[in-house]
Chains A and B, each alone.
Chain A
Amino acid sequence: MLSIAHYLILSLALFTVGVVGVLARRNLIIMLMSVELILNAVNINLVAFSRLHGSVDGQAFAIFVMADAAAEAVVCFSIILVFFRNRGTVRADEMDLLKW
């Protein structure tokens, strides 16, 4: 009696929490973790629809999303590291060199 609406709502809940995390927190690392949460919500959506249609395409695409998330996490972390070395903090408020 589980319909696909259940999975859509779960994915929506995780997506919402992730967006709140990105918008409302000022710490770069927590913002990055919230982005990972958003990507996971998208994965749940993909896999649920792949199960609905009985094809494996959604799952293969979810694997690519995961690989992409890994690459992105690595690059973002090195950016955060360089920023931390230069500024001593990881708050997004301090990234204001390009502000007018």
Chain B
Amino acid sequence: MLNTLFFYFLSAIAVGSAILMVTRRNIAHAAIFLVTALLATAGIFLQLQSEFLFIVQVFLYAGGIMVLFVFAIMLLHLEPAGGLPKFSRPQIVAVTLTLVLGAQILYAVFVGRSSLRLPALQGNISPQNTEAVGDALFHQFIVPFEIASVLLLVAMIGAAVMAKRRV
């Protein structure tokens, strides 16, 4: 019961923040709403009993990537973002197409309810989530792990080189 309540509460915050984020004119406000959406997603991870992913999401996304976004927005001194005025044609086309896509996937989920056997989530997760994820990362997924670290190194170097002022 409490579980379901938490899920609905967190989903409402996540979807509401997301909608608010894509409709703001002020970029800084949009960034704040993205932070709340990411924190709500972290809550969903916690509710799915994956606590390690919860804290990695808070640490990495809300406390890392969003700090990058907020720093960049502060430093760039951008004027308030004018989007196009509302109800312009490209926007209406975009929203309609996306809603059609969403409706298709929703239909697939509903139709496949019986045939895909989407069961209720059982309570059979071991409590040592961090150990299990660490175990998987270092035994099964060791190669992607090393490649991801090289990827991050390359991204850092590339970004630093690209953003330097050439004097």
Contact = CB atoms under 8 A, between A and B. Distances in A.
A67 B52 CA distance: 14
Nearest to B148: A67
Interface in A28-79: 29-30, 32-34, 36-37, 40, 43-44, 47-48, 50-52, 54, 56-57, 59-60, 62-64, 66-75, 77-79
B91 A2 contact: no
Given A33-B69, A60-B133, A77-B72, A14 B15 contact: yes
Report the interface size class on chain B.
Answer: 35 or more
Contact of B95 (A4, A20, A51, A79): A20
A75 B148 CA distance: 15
B22 A73 contact: no
Report the interface size class on chain A.
Answer: 35 or more
Contacts of B136: 56-57, 59-60
Main secondary structure of the interface of B (DSSP, over half): helix
Main secondary structure of the interface of A (DSSP, over half): helix
A44 to B, nearest CB: 6
Contacts of A72: 155
Contact of B156 (A48, A74, A81): A74
B164 to A, nearest CB: 9
A71 B61 CA distance: 11
B18 A14 contact: yes
A64 B147 CA distance: 10
Nearest to A27: B81
B76 to A, nearest CB: 6
28 contacts: A5-B113, A17-B15, A17-B18, A20-B95, A23-B95, A23-B97, A24-B90, A30-B21, A43-B41, A47-B45, A48-B121, A51-B50, A51-B121, A56-B129, A59-B129, A60-B133, A66-B60, A66-B61, A67-B60, A67-B152, A69-B65, A70-B60, A75-B155, A75-B158, A77-B159, A78-B159, A82-B162, A90-B76
